[in-house]
Copies of this chain bind each other. A is one copy, B any other.
Amino acid sequence: MGSARSKDALFEAIAVMGKAFASPRRLELLDLLAQAPRTVDELARTSGQSTPNTSQHLQALHAAGFVTRVREGTSVRYALAGEEVLSLWLALRDASVVQLAEVERAAREYLGEEVDAIGRDELITRMRSGEAVLVDVRPSEEFDAGHIEGARSIPLAELEHRLAELPTDREVVAYCRGPFCAYAHAAVRQLRASGRSARRLDEGWPEWRLASRAETPRKAA
């Protein structure tokens, strides 16, 4: 029967997943993969790390079962392993907000001045009635990999030149990677400066997607 050894092995196996969450660099990669699958090279460039180091971290994530790996010609494309993982990552991130004042402080500094937010339900209502238009300000690859239905893609970098595409008589709602992504904040500030009425959606594509899939209640242990 169960020796102490075996019990240790059990916790050790779980700690493998914990370890995967223990490095900021890996979390950054995980966060990027929550947006869209990518190749090692893309991830390395986007996160500003060396390729070998990125590869090493990806292998740690792979060992923990967080990501899948697919060869595509000369490159290798990594993707989140599944909803379970996404859910776990979001839970961790949310919990950290609740628990650690530190995160709040860091987030505030990163996001800049707070801008008005709008929730999911209100957004749906206002889009239906035509009172609001929804803009996805993430890079277009991420939009292509998946986006909120009814949104149009205007990456933040192009927003300034494409302002004319947006109505002045309706509210513009911007969203990006998630509540801690600065893109939507920046977009709202620009839109306001152009005289438009604008708010940011208080969540991003990953959260929306997870919530949409059949409102799954927590898969009670």
Q: Chain A interface residue count: which class?
A: 35 or more
- How many copies of this chain sit in the oligomeric assembly? 2
**Interface locus among A128-136, A177-185, A192-200:** A177-185
**Interface locus among A91-99, A144-152, A162-170:** A91-99
Q: Is the CB of B218 within 8 A of A87?
A: yes
Q: Is the CB of B100 within 8 A of A16?
A: yes
Interface of A is mostly: helix
By a CB distance below 8 angstroms, the chain B residues around A8 are 24
Q: Is the CB of B10 within 8 A of A110?
A: yes
Q: Given A15-B23, A17-B21, A31-B11 in contact, is the A211-B220 Cβ separation under 8 Å?
A: yes
Set B4, B20, B91, B106: member contacting A88, Cβ < 8 A: B91
By a CB distance below 8 angstroms, the chain B residues around A65 are 98-100
> Is A159 located at the chain interface by the 8 A CB criterion?
no
Q: Which of A62-87 contact B (CB under 8 A)?
A: 64-66, 81-82, 84-85, 87
> Is A123 located at the chain interface by the 8 A CB criterion?
no
**Which 7 residue pairs are nearest across A and B when measured between Cβ atoms?**
A18-B21, A65-B99, A6-B110, A11-B24, A9-B106, A2-B110, A18-B22
